[in-house]
Amino acid sequence: MKTNNIKQKFKLQVATKLEALQEVLQWYKELISPCLPQQTGWQCQVALVEAFTNAVRHAHQDLPVNTPIDLEVELYPNCLEMRVWDRGKPFDLKAQLQANQDNVTSLEKEGGRGLQFIKKLTDELQYLSNLDYRNCLVIKKTYSPTPNLA
């Protein structure tokens, strides 16, 4: 039986390649998604896909394929926290969100929408850099627990 003090932790490490997205999705769908209300599960899955692909395409674009990307999920009865760790050059999240704000409504422009999607689908988004020579995108989403999660 779970209580408010108990949380579940899930970790996965994958290589820097878009093909690893299949492994990330399988991990998420098998372990994490079943613990969440359906809409929350879908929103967090989209956020995780965007965060992972951004790490591959942007943070690790000049790094070797064997450079790891670490994924962590902490699950509480009414909150989920996801962390995507990369080893790329740090960036200014606030400035990036501001610069890409217009891309969300413009269908002609490709790219720049991922962080906006993550921000809209979740409750809190922050970026921490230079933690043990890594950066971390932290994504939080609250939800109402379903009876089988309480």
Instruction: Return the number of other C-beta atoms located less than 10 Å from residue 59's C-beta.
Output: 23
Instruction: Tell me how many domains the chain contains.
Output: 1
Residue 36 lies in a domain: yes
Residue 1 lies in a domain: no
CB-based contact 101:94 (threshold 8 Å): no
What is the rounded CA–CA span in Å between residue 106 and residue 111?
10
Residue 14 lies in a domain: yes
Q: Would you state the pLDDT for residue 13?
A: 98
Residue 3 lies in a domain: no
Secondary structure letter of residue 88 according to DSSP: S
63-77, 92-106, 110-124: lowest mean pLDDT where? 92-106
Domain range enclosing 82: 8-149
Residue 145 lies in a domain: yes
Percent of the chain at pLDDT above 70?
85
Residue 112 lies in a domain: yes
* CATH number of residue 43's parent domain: 3.30.565.10
Residue 32 lies in a domain: yes
What is the rounded CA–CA span in Å between residue 85 and residue 51?
10
Write out pLDDT tens, residues 75-97.
998 999 999 999 999 999 999 88
How many angstroms separate the first and last alpha carbons of the chain? 8
- 3-class DSSP assignment, residue 2: coil
Residue 74 lies in a domain: yes
- The answer to pTM > 0.75 is yes
